[in-house]
């Protein structure tokens, strides 16, 4: 048995079913071990960054640790964006990279670099294995750090001669997994009972409470507990982008996404008017809080987070609860009191304001013009996709519209985006990981021109594996988000943002064996989407949409600043 065999055996011990990656010169021994495994399927990708995005989405959908791998040198460098995205979003990921042999250290070998220093700033643990017998110990540490207590990404660096080297009997005897760390969260901590009671008392006295859920709600799997607490206390629920779907948005207590990107104005206004806000699994960054403007000065905040370092990090709190969302919400529900008429009136008023804003949106969603408004595309998705579909959105045009106006009919992970960095090129490869993790659910990837250019190589992966994904290109021939900034804050000084539409993306998809279409009307778009849902093959839908410069999207700062004169806007430029 070799070190590479131990790596794969450890993955088998942890119940890992899929590893996403691609080979390099230093990976041959590892790939031989993958070839012999009957339990771990290696998903061959076209790009290392895509491999990490696939593993990230797979983890979000399944609750199991995502695993990706890549070769040394440039392969390790390409993995950095994906590893950093998972770590920033607190998604458990174990990334494996091979490395040049230990015997070549310091000799300037091709593809050699200091991977420990490279990965250290963007993950929880970066460790280089120095002998084959240390593989099991190193793998256990990687899974342990990825899942507890503060979830995130870890990096295991495997030199070529460690992988090909023989393993002594002691190394084989050390072959075991810590089952607790195969999924997450590994530990469900609860804060002291007195602190939970203080939070419950504060919520009971509130007349205008709000529950604000971030991605940590999904990572905890605390949807049922959230529903129980919200319904028993008549408390409206808002979410961050990562928390979208915490409560299905057709629920009478759901107000949708809040914050700076993809929020309805009525939703943000509800948070501003709240006297008590229960924050669950959100770091409360600038996007989630609309640049810090979302809370009123008198609001009393209660924050629940698995990571104690996040408690009170950005805002002064009345109560901080360091623990897992599921037991905390369950305990708050037990301690809750029946709501009074003022609480019910508050909840109905918030929901009515959201409904009125959605009614105004319907006018845009019904406009069947050319090029399409993004509103119409989102409404077509809502009409044609099953209620439990998974939508993966790239930064740019798709995100604000799907966040604000796509209303999942079921709770849970129905919306996934790479929000730690807002990186382009996330949605298309991440959809592969999501589909492999949830083969019985409809999965759609939504992306703009820039994102497609960064990830289109994975069309070959989709075509090769015949994955029945729905790929939707919001085609407007530009980097639309940056162009909006140039319009609003730089007096329409457009530069470096226009791509044009001379390239035929549909032909690229067809070249990879994927059915492709470019619908010319709303009914054609809905017909194409229904066909894709019913098909067992991938489909690429190229939707010609207008640039967001023609209609201010649901981005709080832009909607506010668009009402100012150009000179005032320029003073607000980044």
pTM of structure? 0.96
- The burial class, CB within 10 Å (0-12 / 13-18 / 19+), for 123 is buried
Residue 339 CA to residue 399 CA, distance in Å, equals: 35
Beta-carbon count within 10 A of 409 CB? 15
Residue 258 CA to residue 267 CA, distance in Å, equals: 6
Residue 307: which residues within 8 A CB-CB, separation 6 or more? 90, 149, 150, 322
- Residue 442 in 3-state DSSP? coil
What are the two backbone dihedrals, phi and then psi, of residue 372, each rounded to the nearest 5 degrees?
A: -65, 150
Q: 127 has which bridge partners?
A: 156
Residue 317: which residues within 8 A CB-CB, separation 6 or more? 301, 302, 303, 311
What is the torsional sign of CA 291, 294, 297, 299?
A: negative
Q: Where are the beta strands (DSSP E) in 485-537?
A: 515-517
Report the pLDDT value the prediction gives residue 386, as an integer from 0 to 100: 96
Residue 196 CA to residue 490 CA, distance in Å, equals: 49
Q: 158 has which bridge partners?
A: 98
Residue 200 CA to residue 192 CA, distance in Å, equals: 13
73: left (phi over 0), alpha (psi -120 to 50) or beta: left
Answer for the pair 221, 289: CB distance below 8 angstroms, yes or no: no
Which helix H or strand E contains 20, and what residues bound it?
strand 18-21
Residue 295 CA to residue 311 CA, distance in Å, equals: 16
Report the pLDDT value the prediction gives residue 369, as an integer from 0 to 100: 86
Q: What structural domains and CATH numbers belong to the chain?
A: 3-182 (3.40.50.970), 193-354 (3.40.50.1220), 366-571 (3.40.50.970)
Residue 546 CA to residue 75 CA, distance in Å, equals: 36
Answer for the pair 395, 422: CB distance below 8 angstroms, yes or no: yes
Q: How many CA atoms lie within 13 A of 46 on its CB side?
A: 18
Which residue in this structure is represented by tokens 């870890």? 154
The pLDDT tens digits for 234-260 are 999 999 999 999 999 999 999 999 999
Per DSSP bridges, beta strands 300-305 and 319-322 are parallel
Query: Which of 272, 318, 265 has its CA nearest to residue 293?
Result: 272
The pLDDT tens digits for 359-411 are 888 888 888 888 999 999 999 999 999 999 999 999 999 999 999 999 988 99
Answer for the pair 434, 61: CB distance below 8 angstroms, yes or no: yes
- Residue 441 in 3-state DSSP? coil
Length of the chain: 574
Report the pLDDT value the prediction gives residue 423, as an integer from 0 to 100: 86
Per-residue 3-state assignment (H helix, E strand, C coil) for 40-69? CEEEECCCHHHHHHHHHHHHHHHCECEEEE
234: left (phi over 0), alpha (psi -120 to 50) or beta: left
Report the pLDDT value the prediction gives residue 142, as an integer from 0 to 100: 98
What are the two backbone dihedrals, phi and then psi, of residue 257, each rounded to the nearest 5 degrees?
A: -80, 140
Beta-carbon count within 10 A of 501 CB? 14
> In tens digits, what is the pLDDT along the chain, a chain of 574 residues?
999 999 999 999 999 999 999 999 999 999 999 999 999 999 999 999 999 999 999 999 999 999 999 999 999 999 999 999 999 999 999 999 999 999 999 999 999 999 999 999 999 999 999 999 999 999 999 999 999 888 999 999 999 999 999 998 776 889 999 999 999 999 999 999 999 999 999 999 999 999 999 999 999 999 999 999 999 999 999 999 999 999 999 999 999 999 999 999 999 999 999 999 999 999 999 999 999 999 999 999 999 999 999 999 999 999 999 999 999 999 999 999 888 899 999 999 999 999 999 988 888 888 888 899 999 999 999 999 999 999 999 999 999 999 999 998 899 999 999 999 988 999 999 999 999 999 999 999 999 999 999 999 999 999 999 999 999 999 999 999 999 999 999 999 999 999 988 999 999 999 999 999 999 999 999 999 999 999 999 999 999 999 999 888 999 999 999 989 888 888 776 5
Residue 307 CA to residue 216 CA, distance in Å, equals: 10
Report the pLDDT value the prediction gives residue 572, as an integer from 0 to 100: 74
CA–CA–CA angle 552, 271, 289 (5° rounding): 60
Which helix H or strand E contains 138, and what residues bound it?
helix 135-147
What are the two backbone dihedrals, phi and then psi, of residue 153, each rounded to the nearest 5 degrees?
A: -100, 150
Token code pair at residue 279: 């924050």
DSSP structure class, residue 389:
-
Report the pLDDT value the prediction gives residue 361, as an integer from 0 to 100: 86
- Residue 19 in 3-state DSSP? strand
DSSP 320-351: EEES-HHHHHHHHHHH-----HHHHHHHHHHH
Report the pLDDT value the prediction gives residue 567, as an integer from 0 to 100: 83
Q: How many CA atoms lie within 13 A of 325 on its CB side?
A: 29
Answer for the pair 86, 61: CB distance below 8 angstroms, yes or no: no
């Amino acid at each position: 048995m070799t070190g590479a065999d131990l790596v794969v055996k450890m993955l088998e011990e942890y119940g890992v079913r899929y590893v996403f990656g691609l080979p390099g010169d230093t990976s041959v021994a590892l790939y031989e071990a993958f070839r012999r495994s009957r339990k771990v399927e290696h998903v061959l990708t076209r790009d290392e960054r895509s491999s990490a995005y696939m593993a990230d989405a797979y983890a979000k959908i399944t609750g199991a640790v995502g695993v990706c791998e890549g070769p040394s040198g440039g392969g390790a460098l390409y993995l950095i964006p994906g590893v950093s995205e998972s770590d920033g979003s607190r998604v458990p990921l174990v990334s494996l990279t091979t490395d040049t042999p230990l015997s070549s250290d310091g000799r300037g070998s091709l593809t050699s670099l200091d991977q420990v220093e490279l990965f250290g700033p963007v993950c929880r643990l970066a460790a280089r294995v120095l002998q084959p017998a240390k593989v099991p110990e190193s793998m256990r540490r990687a899974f342990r750090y990825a899942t507890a207590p503060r979830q995130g990404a870890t990096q295991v660096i495997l030199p070529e001669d460690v992988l090909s080297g023989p393993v002594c009997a002691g190394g084989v005897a050390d072959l075991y997994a810590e089952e607790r760390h195969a999924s997450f969260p590994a530990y469900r901590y609860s804060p002291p009972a007195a602190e939970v009671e203080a939070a419950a008392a504060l919520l009971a006295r509130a007349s205008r409470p709000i529950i604000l859920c971030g991605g940590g709600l999904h990572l905890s799997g605390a949807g049922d507990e959230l529903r129980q607490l919200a319904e028993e206390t008549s408390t409206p629920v808002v979410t961050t982008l990562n928390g979208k779907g915490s409560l299905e948005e057709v629920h009478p207590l759901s107000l949708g996404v809040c914050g700076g990107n993809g929020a309805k104005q009525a939703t943000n206004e509800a948070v501003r008017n709240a006297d008590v806000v229960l924050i669950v699994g959100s770091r409360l960054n600038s996007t989630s809080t609309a640049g810090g403007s979302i809370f009123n000065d008198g609001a009393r905040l209660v924050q629940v987070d698995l990571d104690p370092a996040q408690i009170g990090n950005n805002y002064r709190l009345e109560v901080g609860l360091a623990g897992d969302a599921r037991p905390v919400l369950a305990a708050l529900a037990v301690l809750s009191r029946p709501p009074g008429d003022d609480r019910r009136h508050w909840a109905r008023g918030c929901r009515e304001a959201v409904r009125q804003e959605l009614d105004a949106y319907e006018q845009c969603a019904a406009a069947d013009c050319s090029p399409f408004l993004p509103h119409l595309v989102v409404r077509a998705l809502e009409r044609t996709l099953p209620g439990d579909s998974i939508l993966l959105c790239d930064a740019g045009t798709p995100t604000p519209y799907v966040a604000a106006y796509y209303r999942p009919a079921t709770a849970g992970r129905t919306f996934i985006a790479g929000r730690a960095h807002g990186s382009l090129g996330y949605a298309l490869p991440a959809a592969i990981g999501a589909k492999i993790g949830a083969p019985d659910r409809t999965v759609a990837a939504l992306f703009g021109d820039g994102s497609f250019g960064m990830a289109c190589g994975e069309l070959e992966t989709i075509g090769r594996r015949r994955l029945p994904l729905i790929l939707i290109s919001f085609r407007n021939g530009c980097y639309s988000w940056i162009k909006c900034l140039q319009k609003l804050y730089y007096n329409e000084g457009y530069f470096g943002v226009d791509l044009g539409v001379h390239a035929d993306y549909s032909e690229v998809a067809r070249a990879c064996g994927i059915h492709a279409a470019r619908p010319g009307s709303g009914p054609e778009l809905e017909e194409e989407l229904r066909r894709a849902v019913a098909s067992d093959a991938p489909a690429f839908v190229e939707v010609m949409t207008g640039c967001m410069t023609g209609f201010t999207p649901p981005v709080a700062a832009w909607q506010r600043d668009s009402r100012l004169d150009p000179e005032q806007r320029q003073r607000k430029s980044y």
